[in-house]
């Protein structure tokens, strides 16, 4: 059984947020990826459309999640299901970092509003 220690997690940064990657194909997962997301105060991630389902569980803090045009305020303990093809924007309007745990299937890609496609390394 692969065990990924905190000291072995790989940290990536993009659009002002941190993605601390634990489960990927590089660490032994066959189908799923999982990471801790750290969204600093005042961060407004760009609008993007995802190619695979993502499950975001908020561990600490608060976020505004806009999913296909509908905005919801979520707090610690809430879970958001982002279906494939959904357009999402994540914003932290508070004065402290929000921390989430996110899972998806391997191979997730995101398309930004300008058509740029991203294959985040924490989801491969």
Distance CA 7, CA 9 (A): 6
- pLDDT over threshold 80, residue 54: yes
Please tell me the predicted confidence (pLDDT) of residue 1.
63
Query: Which tens digit of pLDDT belongs to each residue from 76-121?
Result: 999 999 999 999 999 999 999 999 999 999 999 999 999 999 999 9
Distance CA 86, CA 69 (A): 10
Closest CA to 72 of 53, 85, 89: 89
Distance CA 2, CA 116 (A): 34
Closest CA to 85 of 54, 57, 56: 54
Q: Where are the domains of the chain?
A: 8-123
CATH number, span 8-123: 2.60.120.10
Distance CA 92, CA 63 (A): 5
Distance CA 94, CA 30 (A): 36
Strands 110-112 and 54-60: unpaired
**Conformational region of residue 31, where left means phi above 0, alpha means psi within -120 to 50, and beta covers everything else:** alpha
% of the chain at pLDDT higher than 70:
99
């Amino acid at each position: 059984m692969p065990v990924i220690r905190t000291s072995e997690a790989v940290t990536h940064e993009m659009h002002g947020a941190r993605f601390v990657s634990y489960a990927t194909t590089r660490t032994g997962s066959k189908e799923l990826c999982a990471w801790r997301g750290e969204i600093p105060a005042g961060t407004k991630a760009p609008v993007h459309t995802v190619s695979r389902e993502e499950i975001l569980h908020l561990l600490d803090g608060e976020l505004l999640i806009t999913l296909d045009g509908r905005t919801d305020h979520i707090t610690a303990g809430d879970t958001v299901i982002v279906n494939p093809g959904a357009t999402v924007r994540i914003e932290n309007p508070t004065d402290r970092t929000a921390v989430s745990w996110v899972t998806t299937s391997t191979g997730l890609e995101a398309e930004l509003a300008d058509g740029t496609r991203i294959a985040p390394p924490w989801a491969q």
